[in-house]
Structure 1
Amino acid sequence: MIKGLSLVWKYFKKSTDKKLATCLICQKEYRTSGNTSNLRDHLKRMHPNMENENDRCSSGSSSILSSMRSIDSHFKRGAEYDPTSSRKKEIDKALARLIGVDLQPFSIVNHEGFRSYTKILDPRYVLPSKTTLKNVHIQNMYEQCRSKLRDLLSAVEYLAITTDCWTSAATESYITVTCQFIDPDFSMRTAVLSTMPLLEATNHNADNIAKSLHDIFINYDILDKVTYIVTDNASNITKACEILKKKNLPCLAHTLNLVVQNSLLQDKDNIHLAPLLQKCKTIVTFFKKSSNATELFKKAQNTETPLKLIQEVATRWNSSYMMIKRILETIDAISSVLMANRKAPEPFTEEEMVTLKQVEKILSLFYTLTVRCSGNGLTISLIIPLVNGLYRNLCEMETKIDNVTALRLCKSLKEGVVERLFPYEKRTATKISTLLDPRFKKKAFISILNANSAAMLLESEMNCIAPSVSERPIENISQPGGDPLFQFLEDARNEEVTSRKVDNIITKRQYLERPNLIQSANILDFWKTSKDDFIPMKTVALKYFCIPATSTESERTFSKCGVVSSERRNRLKPKNVDKIVFLNKNHWLS
């Protein structure tokens, strides 16, 4: 140690310009400002053991030399990876991917346990600072993934959008936009485009939402490729679609939830259902609030993995069904605890149990359908057959129900299905996509009139896609007053256009007359391997199959955003929220 040199420099390394000092323990950078006060303060706060050792070392030169050898040996300063080495770049990239995929905070590079773990794995690797990780490595990975996504989107002709607004833990308003498309290899892809504040943060009206969406579409150069925007039933978001002149499709999952909620909460004719549901909630609340009752409930189940009761939450889909189902699964344990406690709510009567069992069976249909339609990459070709199947099951169930309350619920749900879900069969997108699904075709429709209408719409779409047809209408091809010597050429062109229209009719007929594929068949594989004669129809299929049945992809992103922008990380800037969520949801691009 050089005489007069502060012992603090055992733990810090000066930069080349001598204006910065880097801690050899945690890589934190500080300005030296001509003294070591802030460096010593860092040791006291972050590494108190080292600071104590520093004081002890002032007693003798032999102790100083011994400590220096120990530090040199521990950190292996001469063996660190060069910043430009491929190995360091590889690890830096893996670290950035860890942050995105696992939603880890940037500050993880300062956590003592993580630093020790990294040092054991590879002593030569020096973790970057939090700032470098955020502004360099995460930024580079974000730009690379974004560039790959733009390249993918430039190669597709059609895509669909899902979007919704939400509020973070820091009470900031965000809009999340996802897209679904079919890539050139006929694989369904889903990606997050953006998670950013609205242009006017406090304004949730349709104009502001439309402007925010427009900017995102322009940024990715996809404005003309968007076929449909799938959203919930909120008026501001549907109005925004009108402003953008983009077709809107109501989310099937949201609409299903509205059908159930209206029948459970707003059917005043079903006078016994609301009190029964309230009794279920009261009993669940009793167990939730009493630790003693909860312990007795666990013991009464007599199993190593006791179940917990589930409370109904109005904003959570299928929560009424989940509450009733769990009550029925644990009814013996519930009854034993309630009967043993004089302050507990009254147990369920035998008649109430019969009602709950039949209500649970009815609601299970909607639960199954919600789970089915909320799957990743689900296309709208399934909406009509799913609604058809739901309605048929309700009709069949109605004939077997002997409980008045359950029967009234079943009838109310049937009415809701007719009112809110049957209209999907009259929408152009759902009709054409169902017809073009080789598993369903016309057989999935409730009404044969709607099936025939879908066939006519399909033929019209095929004619518009054929190049010779889209150039100009048939009636404008002949030019009055033209040279009569070349009239035969005009006649030939008319015949060609007419012939292609006939070809499309024949192609459509051949497709519809083929046997339907089995339910497990991959519809994209079918169109990928179809003959060239099906090209106009294949193009129409790509246009509509990219449209998702629900907007749940946006809501799944909200869950991720809630982890990223939590109360513990509420100071995270919106641009960094966007980057982390983008990397997390689009990690298949990296």
Structure 2
Amino acid sequence: MELIKSNDASVTFAKPTTTTSLVWRNFNCIYVDNRKQNFVSCDTCKDILHHKSIDGTSSMMKHFRSCEKNSINNNNECLTINEYFSSRKTRSVPTRTKKKVLNATVELVATDNRAFELVGGNGFINLAQTIFDVGQQMSKSQNINVSDLLPHPTTVSVSFCGISLHFLNEELQLYVFILGCYPYDRDNQSSNQIRQFVDGKLLEFDLSLENNKFVVTDNENKMKSCFKDPCIRIGCSIHYLNKQLEHCFTSVTLEKIPVNCDLVQEMFDYIRKIVSHVRRTHKQSKLPRKLQSYSDTRFNGAFLTMNVFLTLFDDLAGVLDRTFLDDYMLIDKDLLENVCSFLAPFEEVINELSCDKKPTIYKVLPLRQCLINQCTIRQDDHDGIRQIKTFLSHRFQEVWVMQDIHYITTILHPFLKNFDFNPSLQDKAINLVKNEITKRQSSTSTTSCTMTATTTTTTVTTADLNTQPKPSTSLLLQCFDLPKNDLKTSSKPYQEFDEYMKLNVQINETDDFSLFWLTHKSKFPTLFSIVQDYYAVPAANTTIERLFSSAKNTVTDKRTSLGTEKINKLLFLQKNLTQLKQFDKKIDNVASTTDTKRKVTHHDKNSTEISSHNQEQFRTSTTVKKLKIDEDDDIFICDDDQDDKENDDF
């Protein structure tokens, strides 16, 4: 009462959200510090009444009828005896009900590893009372589960936005730099808000998105709308692949069309039930290895779950009870083996496209075609495998659409340019490359001169890429000079590309494609610039996915009080520490080089009384230092030029 009289800010009044009695129209519930109290306030006379949900609304109805402003209108109405006097019968809780609650409480503290004092806290009592009140108000016919009422444990959460920078230098070395894992502080996650947030973070590094910049994101509609322009958005290939695998095993319908993978979905449901049961009942210790739960956020998660289950298939029969043993007997082991064998190449493709140490964009088109070929139906295929192949083949061709960059990077790979995996796609790739050459033709000569003047000389030891390789029969043969390539620049618009297509390139799978382009950089300058710009684009945004995983590992149960900015700084150092050390060494080398030059200059001017022997020694020492300075300068000229390149991808 004192808090109400003093108009304390902690006291609030609110109508109940769900009510069954009309009397609540004239009363408000009282909250102190957002906690509901066992009191209500009359809207008419502002009186405070004691009220519990177990008492009903009879006392409130009596007060409403006897209220001063309503007494005139209600003089002729008679009140029942129950409205004047409450029943003397005490409402006792049945022993069976109390024991049921007691057992549930014991299970709570044991399962969640909580103290028994938890149930005595005001917060828990308020929560239990609220759930009890809601349960009374809910009709039994509504069939509502308590899990529908409880909030998600991450209701109070912080969204993060990860940004990484990818680029290739003049030596075709891939650099990946994590700009940050920023807490998203916008009002909502609309496409406009996300774009403004990303642009703001890029401006901190003096970067901006332009028409010649590539952005790799997942394939949600808001991300597609967010990065429509002025940039080129590339969809994450692994998300395309993983989403179709997820639908294959978990979705009944997709875009109002049946998925028709009933056999494998039924088997997968049995597997998930058994895995969940074994992990929940702590029977893992009886198995040689740990079963893997399914997660839709893990790439190819269904394959991982089923593959581990297949490995332990024979051992599971001895740890399951009768209920789950029946589900176990319904699983067709032959079908499970066929499904795991069929999904193994998909796992290999995901691993290939997830690499962030080397370029991967050129792999998307051929690997996608390999997966489509993998979905070709054979006569001896199981019915379940036929269902999977039909669904995935259709979805890959309909949803996983290739963009121009995939065709261009594929044909500019010396070992894929003939498109032996699908010759019908070569003509489109040729036309796209010619269009790109036309765009760059005006700046080709300038770019060629700049590259020749500012880069260091690189010695490439590789086999002859223009002719059939001869098997080496002796060590001496391996030391012979390689045939020199014709380094004359092409004069016709497409002569450079035509000569590249005519080369008979023989390269092993383990060879690096960059050796080919470094060797032919002067002969094909325009194509080299396209390779340098396009090959920096990653096939997937797994770099950011790994960044989010690192964030989860950083914020552990023992470090839950870390601020969002500290998390960003920790991840920045963790992901970029190696490169930052390299930059620091280069800065130290530049500083030491500058000091050496200054010392040499001052020493030459002031040393007039040095003996000839000392002068000779001084010249020798200076010459050696100058050689080192020249080497360092060459490296730094190359690195400084990279800052001006426009092949950065986020």
Aligned to 1:208: 193
Q: How does 1:167-178 map to 2 (within 5 A)?
A: 171-178=157-164
Structure showing greater relative contact order (alpha-carbon pairs closer than 8 Å, 6 or more residues apart):
1
Compared with structure 1, are the counterparts of its residues 444 and 170 closer, same or farther at alpha carbon in structure 2 (3 Å cutoff)? Answer: farther
Aligned to 1:120: none
Q: Could you list the per-position Cα deviations for residues 412-450 of structure 1 after superposition, in whole angstroms to 9, with x for gaps in the alignment?
A: 1111222223x21xx2111111111112113156352x3
Q: How does 1:243-282 map to 2 (within 5 A)?
A: 244-266=229-251, 267-282=258-273
Aligned to 2:472: none
SS at match of 1:337: coil
Q: How does 1:174-193 map to 2 (within 5 A)?
A: 174-193=160-179
Compared with structure 1, are the counterparts of its residues 196 and 269 closer, same or farther at alpha carbon in structure 2 (3 Å cutoff)? Answer: closer
Pair 1:443-2:443 in alignment: no
Aligned pair partner of 1:419 in 398, 407, 431: 398
Aligned to 2:354: 374
Compared with structure 1, are the counterparts of its residues 525 and 218 closer, same or farther at alpha carbon in structure 2 (3 Å cutoff)? Answer: farther
Q: How many Å separate the matches in 1 of 2:182 and 2:161?
A: 6
Aligned to 1:317: 299
Aligned to 2:123: none
Pair 1:466-2:435 in alignment: no
Contact 1:281–1:311 (Cα < 8 Å) also in 2 = yes
SS at match of 2:414: coil
Aligned to 1:384: 365
Aligned pair partner of 1:508 in 483, 490, 497: 497
What's the offset of the Cα at 1:585?
0.7
Q: How does 1:230-249 map to 2 (within 5 A)?
A: 230-242=216-228, 244-249=229-234
Compute the RMSD of aligned alpha carbons: 2.7
Aligned to 1:308: 290
SS at match of 2:345: helix
Aligned to 1:456: 431
What's the offset of the Cα at 1:465?
1.9
Where do 5+ consecutive residues of structure 1 fail to align? 1-166, 299-305, 472-498
SS at match of 1:409: helix
Aligned pair partner of 1:571 in 549, 552, 561: 561
Contact 1:173–1:201 (Cα < 8 Å) also in 2 = no
What's the offset of the Cα at 1:187?
0.6
Q: Which amino acid aligns with 1:580?
A: L
Q: Which amino acid aligns with 1:514?
A: L
Q: How many Å separate the matches in 2 of 1:555 and 1:536?
A: 34
Q: How does 1:140-155 map to 2 (within 5 A)?
A: none
Contact 2:444–2:526 (Cα < 8 Å) also in 1 = no
Q: How many residue pairs end up in the alignment?
A: 378
Where do 5+ consecutive residues of structure 2 fail to align? 1-152, 252-257, 447-487, 582-650
SS at match of 2:509: coil
What's the offset of the Cα at 1:500?
9.0
Contact 1:169–1:565 (Cα < 8 Å) also in 2 = no
Q: How many Å separate the matches in 2 of 1:182 and 1:572?
A: 35
Q: How many Å separate the matches in 2 of 1:351 and 1:375?
A: 35
Q: How many Å separate the matches in 1 of 2:156 and 2:420?
A: 47
Aligned to 2:526: 536
| Rg larger for | 2
SS at match of 2:178: strand
Q: Which amino acid aligns with 1:408?
A: Q
Q: Could you list the per-position Cα deviations for residues 38-81 of structure 1 after superposition, in whole angstroms to 9, with x for gaps in the alignment?
A: xxxxxxxxxxxxxxxxxxxxxxxxxxxxxxxxxxxxxxxxxxxx
SS at match of 1:178: strand
Aligned to 2:311: 329
Compared with structure 1, are the counterparts of its residues 261 and 342 closer, same or farther at alpha carbon in structure 2 (3 Å cutoff)? Answer: closer
Compared with structure 1, are the counterparts of its residues 468 and 346 closer, same or farther at alpha carbon in structure 2 (3 Å cutoff)? Answer: closer
Aligned pair partner of 2:374 in 393, 397, 400: 393
Compared with structure 1, are the counterparts of its residues 348 and 378 closer, same or farther at alpha carbon in structure 2 (3 Å cutoff)? Answer: farther
Pair 1:218-2:203 in alignment: yes
TM-score by length of 2: 0.54
Compared with structure 1, are the counterparts of its residues 170 and 525 closer, same or farther at alpha carbon in structure 2 (3 Å cutoff)? Answer: farther
Q: How many Å separate the matches in 1 of 2:293 and 2:209?
A: 45
Q: How many Å separate the matches in 1 of 2:538 and 2:293?
A: 30
Compared with structure 1, are the counterparts of its residues 224 and 208 closer, same or farther at alpha carbon in structure 2 (3 Å cutoff)? Answer: closer
Pair 1:433-2:409 in alignment: yes
Q: How many Å separate the matches in 2 of 1:290 and 1:531?
A: 63
Q: Which moved more, 1:274-283 or 1:547-556?
A: 274-283
Q: Which amino acid aligns with 1:390?
A: L
Aligned pair partner of 2:388 in 409, 412, 415: 409
Contact 2:199–2:209 (Cα < 8 Å) also in 1 = no
